[in-house]
Structure 1
Amino acid sequence: MEPSKDQLDRRWTVNLSILLTDLPLLERPAAAAAAGFTAAELWWPFGADHVPDEKEVDALRRAFTDAGVRLTGLNFLDGLTEGEKGVLSLPEQSRRFRENIPVAAELAGSLGCGALNALYGNRLAGAAPEAQDELALENLSLAAQAAAGIGAVLLVEALNKVEAPDYALLSADAAVSVVDRVNAATGLGNARFLCDLYHLARNGERLSGEDGVIRRFGDRIGHVQIADTPGRGAPGSGELDLPALLAELDAVGYGGNVGLEYKSPAASAFDWLPRASRANG
């Protein structure tokens, strides 16, 4: 279903790692601004095999400031390959994750970004899940401390088992359990649930109603991302009743950003959303 006019009045933010990808990364903030958006988010934007130097970070920062686009969300280091889905629970790659925590926090803080997302990583064959979870808690605690240092929240999300079958967190309950453990370990209270409606729907989770994810975990939600199912297209292209779900998020008091994290050709990516509704806040 297409959102009604009332549903369009919210804080949209464009994920520039999945949208406008026909352009080089440094040109995407300006393209988002040209399309009428004032906020954007990113997956880890640098190479995963090194710590980015000052020149790389400054170039990306300037792309946002020159375009007048605010960075609202940024992933910590999320893997060498698309299938890796995070490295913070992987013993052999933990060091790289930790080395890049300050880079992500500094860039986010300099651009007023209030949310840092940490992908958990896949289960490893032959490795004890308990050992991976212990390492993950250590690294998430470090990430939460870095996020707190810039006044940001740390996000933890579930992915879907169709596209990420080896990922460790394949349900809202699993992700929220990690959120609660991080908050208990750090005492900071800034770990939050990233409620990605696409991933949860692909997992067959009940999203709405008294026993749905939104009502059960509304007090833990720190960010929302949307795409229609099953094709991860723009709102209105599939089966998900996004207007009803957005209304339910309103009902539980969520007033934060809604990330547009779907796949669509640039020429028609935002046709569903009137230009007058695209500015954030």
Structure 2
Amino acid sequence: MGFADQRFTVNLSILFTELPLLERPAAAAAAGFGAVELWWPWVDSPTPDRSELEALKKAIEDAGVRLTGLNFYAGRLPGPDRGALSVPGEESEKFRANIEVTADFAHSLGCTALNALYGNRVDGTDPAEQDALALENLALAARAADRIDAVLLIEALNAAESPLYPLVSAPAAVGITDKVNEATGLGNARFLMDLYHLSMNGEDLPSVIERYAARTGHVQIADNPGRGAPGTGSLPLEDLLDRLRKAGYEGRVGLEYKPGDRPSAEAFAWLPTGARAAR
């Protein structure tokens, strides 16, 4: 097996960011990719003007790439203010306003995976209150995803970079997917297995794969240390992806790494050309 046997998608919110947003889909296509994913692109607006949505949709369609994953509104990423859906007040209201906007935009492009970042703990707020709010909002997101035949992804981050984020292990994130599925009865909440974040938390990655591959709706990678391209750190990513395939994971693998001090188009020398092209 190996990298050549995977289906990769490139995340346009961390790669090709040296370019304006509307130029990134074409740049990904020029680098040989047939599929892209995005964090919510409008960090200050959960409900951007329709003209902005249409412009991005056109850029993706004109580039001939497929949007395969999209985050709900989550504040400014990357950064410490991760997520909105469990934050009482204005942020969770923004998340709710964004749910149908995200779902409709994803549906217009055939995207079938929506990622909802859980949200940080807030000083002076009872964690139980935040968890109840999170479950309520995740259930709304799961229903919106179900309406467009999509899965709802729930992700573990890492404690070093997101110290206030409560889901910093695979069991914690999978436990929330169970609660959402129980609350909705839909069964469409799935684990987003980000091997970089899990490795930063010191988890036994082969064990995580063995336990949770069947519960996984998407996989993302970056090397560690440094969050760079495969081969820039010490993670055995090729072996880990082979383990995932052998464990039954047949989905795409998102490239969510930093290109380093070079144009993003030069950050894919490790990747066989044939693994980039699948739409």
Normalised to the residue count of structure 1, the TM-score between the two structures is 0.95
What is the Cα deviation at residue 11 of structure 1?
1.3
| Deviation of 1:280 (Å) | 1.6
* Structure 1 partner of 2:178: 180
Aligned residue for 1:62, secondary structure, equals helix
Q: Where does residue 154 of structure 1 map in the other structure?
A: 152
Query: Hey, what's the Cα distance between the residues in 1 that align with 2:129 and 2:184?
Result: 19
Match of 2:32 in 1: 36
Kept in 1, the 8 Å contact 2:46–2:95? The answer is no
Q: 2:132 maps to what in 1?
A: 134
Give secondary structure in 1 for the equivalent of 2:192.
strand
For 2:60, the aligned partner's letter is F
Q: Equivalents in 2 of 1:42, 1:258: separation in Å?
A: 13
Shift of 1:7: 2.8
Give the alignment's Cα RMSD to 1 decimal: 1.1
User: Which of 199, 202, 217 does residue 201 from structure 1 map onto?
Assistant: 199
CA distance in 1, matches of 2:49, 2:212: 39
1:260 equivalent in structure 2: 255
CA contact (8 A) 2:114 2:151 kept: yes
Secondary structure of 2:193 counterpart: strand
Matched, 1:56 2:52: yes
Q: How far apart are 1:142 and its partner, in Å?
A: 0.3
1:15: how far off?
0.2
Indicate the residue corresponding to 1:124 in structure 2: 122
Q: Quick one: distance in 2 between partners of 1:222 and 1:47?
A: 24
Aligned with 1:143 (options 121, 125, 141): 141
Structure 1: which 5+ runs fail to align?
A: none
1:66 to 2:70 alignment: no
Which 5+ residue runs of structure 2 have no aligned equivalent? none
Specify the SS of the correspondent of 2:235: coil
Give the letter aligned to residue 42 of structure 1.
L
**2:75 counterpart of 1:91:** no
Counterpart amino acid of 1:86? G
CA positional deviation for 1:104? 0.5
Tell me the percent identity. 62
What's the counterpart of residue 11 of structure 2?
A: 15
Aligned AA for 2:149? G
SS at match of 2:159: coil
What is the total number of aligned residue pairs between the two structures? 274
SS in 2 for 1:204: coil
Aligned to 2:278: 280
Aligned counterparts of 1:150 and 1:54: Cα–Cα separation in 2:
19
The one-letter code sitting in structure 1 at the alignment partner of 2:166 is A
Give the match for residue 210 of structure 2.
215
What SS does structure 1 have at the residue aligned with 2:74?
coil
TM-fit CA distance, 1:80: 4.0
Question: Equivalent residue for 1:78?
Answer: 74
**TM-aligned CA deviation for residue 48 of structure 1:** 2.6
Q: Please state how far the C-alpha of 1:87 moved relative to its aligned partner.
A: 0.3
C-alpha deviation, 1:275, in angstroms? 2.0
CA distance in 2, matches of 1:279, 1:255: 16
Q: Find the residue that maps to 1:259 and give its secondary structure.
A: strand
Higher mean C-alpha deviation, range 16-25 or range 72-81: 72-81
| Structure 1 position 268, deviation (Å) | 2.0
